[in-house]
Amino acid sequence: MNQKNTPLYDALIKHKNKKSISFHVPGHKNGMVFLKDSHSLFQSILDVDVTELSGLDDLHSPSEAIQEAEALLANYFQVKKSFFLVNGSTVGNLAMILATVTEGEEVLVQRNCHKSIMNGLSLVGAKPVFIAPEFDTDWQVAGGITIKSIQEAVKKHPRVKALIVTYPNYYGMVTNLKEIISYCHEHKIIVLVDEAHGAHFSRRKGLPMSATALGADVVVQSAHKTLPAMTMGSYLHYNSEMVDLDRIKIYLRMLQSSSPSYPIMASLDLARKYIATYEEKDLQYTLHFIFEFREKLNKIPSIKLLSYKDEGDPLKITIQSKTAITGFELQSKLEEYGIYTELADEFNVLFIFPLLKCGDFYPIEEVVYALKDGIEEEERISISSQGLTEGTCISTLEMTYKEQQQKAVEIVPLSEAKGRVCAESIIPYPPGIPLLLPGELIRNDNIKQIHHLLEAGSRFQGGENIKLQKIKVFDN
Ligand SMILES: Cc1ncc(COP(=O)(O)O)c(C=O)c1O
């Protein structure tokens, strides 16, 4: 197939050039009816923000331009079928779980997975078997799950239907997914991969292998995160002997809008062309640019530049301050210089670099200047691991999702929570691994850990109750 083609984008431009008169949705009528003050900013997008008109196909039943564009995507990733998603990896994760697992079935799940995975499991009424990820003490972040912990979980739960993994993690760390997939397939376990942060992964040297190339059954990617696609634009790839393709289609139709955005879909077509025609010389150029950026960062005395132990995503660049300031404060300092980064945690600040083409420019000097100028060489501290928690490696729920939906919730003091079933997620940062999840039994050691973390100044995601030494539990 000719990867230079962009069938959906071309169809959209052809329609735009007709300068047609709109008596159809959306209400802005190709931009003719819009608030005047904002018009000029939006006009070029409003021109192509149309609906399922003749020649523009239908995402939910594609037979023309969208079918061709999705076929090109599947061809590039060498999978049986690929889908465009207009509601992010969030909808892809929900659909892949609903299509694969039924109520009461056991599923191995990486404990620190994205909330869309947890929501999918809850919607289906699955029985999750959580596997805690490894914790990286240099980076102070959760990595991936190991083959050893998966083998241990399978021994304890031999009837598991599927494994759900996040690959790579937010910081670009990858696990040995090949070994994990071949072990799971030997045991007839379906492998579902949330590759939200790895849409640019491929089969070529210089970037980690994509889960699609490693044999995963279903893979979901946020094209908008690392490819030049519009926000919310994502892909779902199907390449399985064990998952029913029709069920994936049914759930995507059920969960996605019946009025999908054409600008987003066209950007997915263009992003596929971008990566499929991305040449070896472009990748070498980008990697060299990143190498130079890292060299410059390495020379700044107040900064520690982190490196992967083995392989990782070169587009992700993580730094820590060697001074007394936290990752959050370092991020704010950079914002004073107009530099906005992807995320910060207690220790780290994460930059995501783009896939440049030969000759493209990217303003790295501004970052180097801001870091040199903005951070005083003040008091140096060594990174402490005081927030680290010791999670149970393999765990299950005390109360099923269905039971949870039927129970009332109350807030009790932590001191009275032992033996109750938790009704909220307690996620301390660091390490970002849930300490308790809804439906889990609260043990004495959980309470002790929470007290310890509070004393150590750890932050909790959504933990308003926890700060007050209280916790949400289900009624007995
Ligand atoms: C690991 C992971 N999976 C899924 C998602 C959801 O992706 P999206 O924003 O494309 O819906 C995210 C979002 O940050 C994520 O980090």
**For a pocket test of ligand 1, which of 89, 141, 264, 350 has the largest count of ligand atoms closer than 8 A to its C-beta?**
89
**Average pLDDT score over the chain:** 94
Give residue 229's pLDDT.
98
Query: Which residue type occupies 92?
Result: G
- Selection from 423, 414, 473, 404 nearest residue 449 by Cα: 414
Between the alpha carbon of residue 10 and those of residues 4, 17, 270, the distances in Å are 12, 11, 10
Rounded to whole angstroms, the Cα distance separating 416 from 436 reads: 16
Structure tokens at 332: 């704010």
Summarised one tens digit per residue, pLDDT across range 197-235 is 999 998 889 999 999 999 999 999 999 999 999 999 999
Placement of tokens 């009424």 in the chain: 125
Which residues neighbour 131 within 8 Å (Cβ) at sequence distance 6 or greater? 108, 109, 110, 111, 145, 149, 150, 153, 393, 394
Rounded to whole angstroms, the Cα distance separating 130 from 113 reads: 10
Tell which phi-psi region holds residue 104, choosing left (phi > 0), alpha (psi between -120 and 50) or beta. Answer: left
Q: What is the mean pLDDT of residues 170-181?
A: 97
- Portion of the chain with pLDDT greater than 90, in percent: 85
Placement of tokens 């979901």 in the chain: 220
Q: Order across the sheet with 303-305: list the strands.
A: 303-305, 316-321, 348-352, 343-344
| pLDDT confidence bin for 388, thresholds 50/70/90 | very low
Give residue 380's pLDDT.
52
**CB of 196 closer than 6 A to ligand 1?**
yes
**CB of 230 closer than 6 A to ligand 1?**
no
Q: What is the mean pLDDT of residues 376-394?
A: 55
**CB contact at 8 A, 379 and 324:** yes
Could you list the beta-strand ranges (E) of 138-189: 141-142, 162-166
Residue 348 confidence (pLDDT) above 60: yes
- Selection from 260, 264, 274 nearest residue 226 by Cα: 274
Q: What is the mean pLDDT of residues 27-36?
A: 97
**Which ligand 1 atom sits nearest the alpha carbon of residue 92?**
11
- Selection from 65, 92, 77, 295 nearest residue 196 by Cα: 92
Q: Which has more pLDDT, 400 or 376?
A: 400
Give the distance (Å) from ligand 1 centre to CA of residue 466: 26
| pLDDT confidence bin for 392, thresholds 50/70/90 | low
Q: What is the mean pLDDT of residues 290-302?
A: 96
Query: Which residue type occupies 168?
Result: P
In sign, the C-alpha dihedral spanning 271, 273, 274, 280 is: positive
Give residue 326's pLDDT.
86
Summarised one tens digit per residue, pLDDT across range 438-475 is 999 999 999 998 998 888 777 888 778 998 999 999 99
Q: At 219, phi and psi to the nearest 5?
A: -130, 130
- Selection from 135, 190, 200, 137 nearest residue 165 by Cα: 190
Residue 382 confidence (pLDDT) above 80: no
Q: What is the mean pLDDT of residues 374-395?
A: 60
Domains of the chain: 7-276 (3.40.640.10), 280-375 (3.90.1150.150), 398-474 (3.90.105.10)
Rounded to whole angstroms, the Cα distance separating 64 from 38 reads: 34
Query: Which residue type occupies 422?
Result: C
Give the distance (Å) from ligand 1 centre to CA of residue 85: 13
**CB of 252 closer than 6 A to ligand 1?**
no
Angle at 25 between CA 37 and CA 18, to 5 degrees: 85
Q: At 164, phi and psi to the nearest 5?
A: -115, 120
Give residue 387's pLDDT.
41
Give the distance (Å) from ligand 1 centre to CA of residue 214: 21
DSSP sequence for 95-129: HHHHHH--TT-EEEEETT--HHHHHHHHHHT-EEE
Strand 162-166 and strand 190-194: the pairing is: parallel
**CB contact at 8 A, 27 and 33:** yes
Enter the DSSP assignment of 22. Answer: P
Residue 462, classed as helix, strand or coil, is coil
**Can you give the pTM of this predicted structure?**
0.95
**For a pocket test of ligand 1, which of 116, 169, 352, 427 has the largest count of ligand atoms closer than 8 A to its C-beta?**
116
Summarised one tens digit per residue, pLDDT across range 326-340 is 898 999 999 999 999
Tell which phi-psi region holds residue 161, choosing left (phi > 0), alpha (psi between -120 and 50) or beta. Answer: alpha
**For a pocket test of ligand 1, which of 87, 90, 218 has the largest count of ligand atoms closer than 8 A to its C-beta?**
90
**CB of 169 closer than 6 A to ligand 1?**
no
Give the distance (Å) from ligand 1 centre to CA of residue 225: 9
Q: What is the mean pLDDT of residues 264-277?
A: 98
- Portion of the chain with pLDDT greater than 70, in percent: 96
Residue 181 burial class via C-beta count within 10 angstroms: exposed 0-12, middle 13-18, buried 19 and up: buried
Q: At 181, phi and psi to the nearest 5?
A: -65, -45
